Amino acid sequence: MSEPTSPVSVEDAMSSRGMLDLEPHLAAIIVGHGERGRDFSNAILQNHAKAVSERLGNVPVFAGVLSGLPTIEAALGKAVNTGARRILVYPYFMAAGFFVSTRVPQRIAGAGASERCRMLGPLGADPGLPALVLRRAAAVAVDNLDQPARACRLLLVGHGSKVARASAEATEAVAAALRRAGEFASIETAFLEEAPFLDDVIGQDAEGRDARPTVIVGLFNGDGLHAGEDVPAAMQKAKGPVAYTGAVGAMPEVADLIAVAIETAAKELRADVLA
């Protein structure tokens, strides 16, 4: 599978909507982890696929998950049935960890589709993600806490892992980009499954203050257990005003990021064909 591609701007992608000349030979699938028995998270992914397909105009986009329905194999089958000879695969994950590097390629290979698939970079590494997070967090600070961003702590919460670094590194990369933006008083990170743990960080910031207004951003791809239950439970330990943006992956604007990534890769494929 090919390496992730560089992005174009949302404006560039949207202005070229409907101008691809590879159809009907190109399709895309958005792949996620999925959750058995928790249909709402899988529905978010399917809604993104529908929105992206509408934005791109004539590139069919389908959704598939590792766990639950619709399966990755079903999504690949739909893409193949459109007549697509090349399939762009967008990983709806917050880090390029085990699932992106191993499990998704295994499932694609098992479906006999490796040769026609091109893997893009994951949502968590999308260069447009920090700007999306910043806009949403700043709006929540004003709307929910009645405070400007510069008066608030921004707390990024990632999954984390006891055995791998991909989740923490992806979270820290977003935090670094937000620090460069300089709009919030401070930017901190916390995790659910590794230190610094959310339960420990939420009660006190890095400077020992425990009453600064805090905006929490969930770097999760849907409204599953972590985003919908673990973070709200931890918020009860906050000693100052706190507000939660919800999971990044559930934000409607994510569809624009995905559309840009697919459009960028499609342009590169077009250039290869015309070369």
Please state the φ and ψ torsions of residue 155, each to the nearest 5 degrees.
-115, 110
Give the model's confidence band at 225: pLDDT under 50 very low, under 70 low, under 90 confident, else very high. low
Indicate whether 137 and 79 sit together in one domain.
no
**pLDDT range class, residue 226, cuts 50, 70, 90:** low
Higher-scoring residue by pLDDT: 222, 79: 79
Same domain, 214 and 154: yes
CATH classification of the domain holding 187: 3.40.50.1400
Q: Is residue 183 part of a domain?
A: yes
Are the C-beta atoms of 46 and 255 separated by less than 8 Å?
A: no
Q: Quick one: 243 and 268 in the same domain?
A: no
Establish if 36 belongs to a structural domain: yes
Q: Rounded to an integer, what distance in angstroms lies between the CA atom of residue 226 and that of residue 10? A: 29
CB 166 within 8 A of CB 97: yes
Tokens 């990170």 correspond to 189
Flag whether pLDDT at 19 surpasses 50. Answer: no
Q: Are 102 and 133 part of one and the same domain?
A: no
3 in any annotated domain: no
Q: For residue 12, is pLDDT > 50?
A: no
Residues 151 and 46 in one domain: no
Tell me, yes or no, whether 200 and 264 share the same domain: no
**Domain co-membership, 137 together with 42:** no
pLDDT at 50 over 60: yes
For residue 111, the model assigns a pLDDT of: 96
Output the pLDDT for position 13: 38
User: How much is the average pLDDT of 34-47?
Assistant: 76
Whether 221 and 267 share a structural domain? no
| In a domain? residue 102 | yes
Q: Do 155 and 245 fall within a single domain?
A: yes
Mean pLDDT of 65-89: 94
Q: Looking at the structure, tell me whether residues 150 and 78 fall in a common domain.
A: no
Residue 2 within a domain = no
User: Is pLDDT above 70 for 1?
Assistant: no
Tell me the pTM.
0.86
The number of distinct structural domains making up the chain is 2
Query: pLDDT per residue over 254-266, tens digit each?
Result: 999 999 999 999 9
Residues 139 and 245 in one domain: yes
| Lowest pLDDT segment from 6-15, 71-80, 197-206 | 6-15
Tally: H helices and E strands in the chain: 11, 8
Q: Which domain holds residue 200?
A: 129-250
Kindly report, residue by residue over 169-223, the tens digit of the pLDDT. 999 999 999 999 999 999 999 999 999 999 999 887 556 665 689 999 999 987 6
Contacts of residue 192, defined as CB under 8 A and 6 or more positions apart, other chains included, come to: 157, 158, 159, 160, 198, 226, 230
Quick check: helix, strand or coil at residue 217? strand
Q: pLDDT for 82-101, tens place per residue?
A: 999 999 999 999 999 999 99
* Across 130-139, 221-230, 243-252, least confident range: 221-230
Q: What angle do CA 64, 67, 70 make, to 5 degrees?
A: 35
Whole-number Å distance between alpha carbons of 222 and 30 = 14
Position 230 in a domain? yes
Together in a domain, 190 and 230 = yes
